[in-house]
Chain A
Amino acid sequence: MSMQLHDFENSFQQKVDAEIKIEPKDWMPEAYRKTLIRQISQHAHSEIVGMLPEGNWISRAPSLKRKAILISKVQDEAGHGLYLYSSCETLGITREETINDLNSGKAKYSSIFNYPTLTWADMGAIGWLVDGAAILNQVMLCRTSYGPYARAMVRICKEESFHQRQGFDILLTLSRGTDAQKAMCQDAINRWWWPSLMMFGPKDSESTNTDQSMKWKIKRKTNDELRQQFIDMCAEQVKILNMHLPDKDLKWNTETQHYDFGEIDWSEFWNVVKGNGPCNKQRLEARRKAHEEGEWVREAAAAYAEKRKSRASAGNLEAA
């Protein structure tokens, strides 16, 4: 018996090593399934909770064009949530269960969405920094070993690069605007920079999941590798904005061919993860409220569908 399990595990790992995608009906280690459910559902929840900080500015978008772009962006995120909940379902967990785990506080979502959006410039900073950080992670996940997740990621990545560009464009416009707009732009960068760096997760030396996930090719780059790639990218892009990143230790290192950067305040990160971020309560409350207030709507839809079905079968009987 144990010999058999061992064989399954070996052939699974051989497949992963040979870059053959794992599909829903294939045998997979229970821990692989659990890791994926955790990761994909967290990702789905992040898309859904992520609608809230940006949705906060839809009603106040400063031009009709910006309003249209922002609405379609937030709507894209709802669509991403849908793809991801569907890929999660291929692993044997229903959307309802997954959503209940979010509402009960059991499941996590990206901590970045527990920060408030205080000014219009935050729409730009989220697009440029938050979506920018997310893209690096997602581009890597397009090659993840689980087929449905990888395919969902390919679709998502196409839309995400548009999101990042629109964010940068908001900041670029502000950076060329009035003094008040420039100040708004710098302030948003100051507030979103460090939380964006934390999006890649703890340092490799502290990360508990990295090794196994790399072996299973769920992840293909470590947290620190992705973070460095992000910093190198942003340190150059910020020059186009004529703004600066709020890190006095940020410096090009000719030896490593990367930017050196200052110490990340991990106590802040863990505090937000534990629920003490500025908006943890509000975000979860908003999701619960939508869910609870939607209960009667879902019940009505189900009741009506049921009635239609029984009327149709009664009709069939009469016809027969």
Chain B
Amino acid sequence: MPITNSEFPITNSQLLITNQLINYTLHLADNTLILAQQNSEWCGHGPILEQDIAITNISLDLLGQARNFYQYAAELINQSTSQPINLLTSQPATEDTLAYLRDNREFRNCLLVEQENGDWAKTILRQFVFSNYQYLLYEKMQDSKDEALRAIAEKALKEVIYHLKWSSEWVIRLGDGTEESNQRINKAVIELWPYVDELFINAAYESALISNNISVDVASLKNLWMQKTKEIFAEATLGIPENIFAHKGGKQGMHTERLGYILAEMQFLQRAYPNSVW
């Protein structure tokens, strides 16, 4: 006997889960896209040719992850009976409508990734903080009940292992390099530390999906993250700041002013020439 919708009606709670899953997937996508966008600014301007290639590679990996998440989010949105997120066009959602036609209040990336590149030390430290988090996140996400998220995490984890290794080595090199490099990376630690805690505070869409084993409980990652950070910082002769006020809100769409400029630049062509194929 065929299973029909009338026999198994979509309940309100299922709809709610789908909506939270869309938000969660967009959060994962936005994190990786914004960091990819920022890292790609180094392309052609790196301090050493080999490292120019390395940071650009990381940018490409993150962009690839973002595309996978956006494609999945678009699929969920198009299947869902609720209103499409993107009100600008009546077309179905795609990776590009999601990346290019949402405004900054709709972006759910953490504040860390929208912090400016600064010098090489700041870019390196931002990458280390994020890769260390992303490694733990994807490792757990491999056990997600959601098949698509699981598959993306499995594939991405291999990339992130390299990002974490590369950025850890650079944190050590700069921390234990010259006096100047030590000062610079210390400055980066002070500047970026206020944006660390947000990574480990579950947003509503994360909390809602934990009990179904869909999302990863990010609060549970913090100790392991700190353990790795301490290990690397010790080798880099760096201290870990204490009692730093933590900024948050990015995951709920409350961003720093900078995100508006990142999006203005990134979305320019899609906004200036609407409904065009590129």
A and B co-occur in one complex: yes
* B245 contacts partner chain A, Cβ-Cβ < 8 Å: no
> What residues of A have a CB within 8 angstroms of the CB of B277 in the complex?
173, 176-177
* B103 contacts partner chain A, Cβ-Cβ < 8 Å: no
Q: Which of A181-214 contact B (CB under 8 A)?
A: 181
**What range describes how many residues of B lie at the interface?**
35 or more
Q: How far is the CA of A79 from the CA of B54 in the complex (A)?
A: 11
A35 to chain B, nearest CB (A): 24
Known interface pairs A301-B48, A303-B177. Does A66 touch B56 (Cβ–Cβ under 8 Å)?
no
Q: Is the CB of A60 within 8 A of B265?
A: yes
A97 to chain B, nearest CB (A): 15
Q: Is the CB of B180 within 8 A of A300?
A: yes
Name B53's contact: one of A62, A63, A79 (CB within 8 Å): A79
> Would you give the 0/1 interface string for B239-278, flagging 1 where the beta carbon is closer than 8 Å to chain A?
0000000000000000000000000011011100101111
Q: Is the CB of A55 within 8 A of B44?
A: yes
Nearest CB in chain B to that of A77: its residue: B44
Interface-lining segment among A126-134, A148-156, A290-298: A290-298
> What residues of B have a CB within 8 angstroms of the CB of A62 in the complex?
100, 269-270, 273, 276, 278
* A8 contacts partner chain B, Cβ-Cβ < 8 Å: no
Q: Which of A122-146 contact B (CB under 8 A)?
A: none
Nearest CB in chain B to that of A292: its residue: B47
> What residues of A have a CB within 8 angstroms of the CB of B49 in the complex?
48, 78, 81-82, 85
> What residues of A have a CB within 8 angstroms of the CB of B229 in the complex?
none
- What is the interface of chain B mostly: helix, strand, loop, or mixed? helix
A residues whose Cβ falls under 8 Å from a Cβ of B = 48, 51-52, 55, 58-68, 71-72, 74-75, 78-79, 81-82, 85, 120, 170, 173-174, 176-178, 180-181, 286, 289-290, 293-301, 303-304, 307
Q: Is the CB of A66 within 8 A of B50?
A: no
The number of A-B residue pairs with CB atoms under 8 Å apart is 139
Q: Is the CB of A296 within 8 A of B43?
A: no
- What is the interface of chain A mostly: helix, strand, loop, or mixed? helix
Q: Is the CB of B96 within 8 A of A177?
A: no
Q: Is the CB of B53 within 8 A of A120?
A: no
Known interface pairs A62-B270, A181-B273, A290-B45. Does A301 touch B173 (Cβ–Cβ under 8 Å)?
yes
Q: How far is the CA of A295 from the CA of B46 in the complex (A)?
A: 11
Q: Is the CB of A120 within 8 A of B48?
A: no
B residues whose Cβ falls under 8 Å from a Cβ of A = 33, 37, 40-41, 43-53, 56-57, 59-60, 63-64, 66-67, 70, 95-96, 99-100, 119-120, 172-174, 176-178, 180-181, 184, 265-266, 268-270, 273, 275-278
Q: Is the CB of A74 within 8 A of B47?
A: no
> What residues of A have a CB within 8 angstroms of the CB of B96 in the complex?
63-64
> What residues of A have a CB within 8 angstroms of the CB of B181 in the complex?
296-297, 299-300, 303
Nearest CB in chain A to that of B273: its residue: A180
Q: 6 nearest interchain CB pairs?
A: A294-B47, A300-B177, A300-B181, A51-B44, A297-B47, A62-B269
> What residues of B have a CB within 8 angstroms of the CB of A68 in the complex?
60, 63-64, 67
Nearest CB in chain B to that of A174: its residue: B278
Of B49, B67, B269, chain A has the most CB atoms within 10 Å of the CB of: B49
Name B278's contact: one of A55, A66, A303 (CB within 8 Å): A66
Q: Is the CB of A294 within 8 A of B37?
A: no
Q: Is the CB of B60 within 8 A of A52?
A: no
Q: Is the CB of A64 within 8 A of B45?
A: no
A264 to chain B, nearest CB (A): 29
Known interface pairs A60-B268, A296-B181. Does A51 touch B276 (Cβ–Cβ under 8 Å)?
no
Q: Is the CB of B276 within 8 A of A304?
A: no
Sample of 10 more A-B contacts, CB < 8 Å, known A62-B270, A304-B176: A48-B49, A60-B266, A62-B269, A74-B44, A78-B43, A78-B44, A78-B56, A180-B273, A295-B47, A300-B181
Q: How far is the CA of A301 from the CA of B49 in the complex (A)?
A: 14
> What residues of A have a CB within 8 angstroms of the CB of B119 in the complex?
293
Nearest CB in chain B to that of A178: its residue: B276
Q: Is the CB of A304 within 8 A of B173?
A: yes
> What residues of B have a CB within 8 angstroms of the CB of A170 in the complex?
278
Q: How far is the CA of A180 from the CA of B273 in the complex (A)?
A: 8
A300 to chain B, nearest CB (A): 3
Q: How far is the CA of A290 from the CA of B47 in the complex (A)?
A: 6
Q: How far is the CA of A63 from the CA of B266 in the complex (A)?
A: 9
Of A62, A68, A82, A290, chain B has the most CB atoms within 10 Å of the CB of: A62
> What residues of B have a CB within 8 angstroms of the CB of A286 in the complex?
44-45
Q: Is the CB of B276 within 8 A of A181?
A: yes
B144 to chain A, nearest CB (A): 23
Name A296's contact: one of B57, B60, B184, B273 (CB within 8 Å): B184
A66 to chain B, nearest CB (A): 6
B102 to chain A, nearest CB (A): 13
Q: How far is the CA of A174 from the CA of B35 in the complex (A)?
A: 29
Known interface pairs A64-B66, A81-B49. Does A58 touch B173 (Cβ–Cβ under 8 Å)?
no
Q: How far is the CA of A180 from the CA of B275 in the complex (A)?
A: 12
B260 to chain A, nearest CB (A): 14
Q: How far is the CA of A55 from the CA of B43 in the complex (A)?
A: 7
A152 to chain B, nearest CB (A): 15
What are 16 contact pairs spanning A and B, CB under 8 A? A55-B45, A60-B269, A62-B270, A63-B100, A68-B63, A71-B63, A75-B43, A78-B53, A78-B56, A181-B273, A289-B45, A298-B48, A300-B174, A300-B177, A300-B180, A300-B181
> What residues of A have a CB within 8 angstroms of the CB of B100 in the complex?
62-63
Q: Is the CB of B180 within 8 A of A58?
A: no
> What residues of A have a CB within 8 angstroms of the CB of B269 in the complex?
60-62, 120
Q: Is the CB of B172 within 8 A of A304?
A: yes
> What residues of A have a CB within 8 angstroms of the CB of B173 in the complex?
300-301, 304
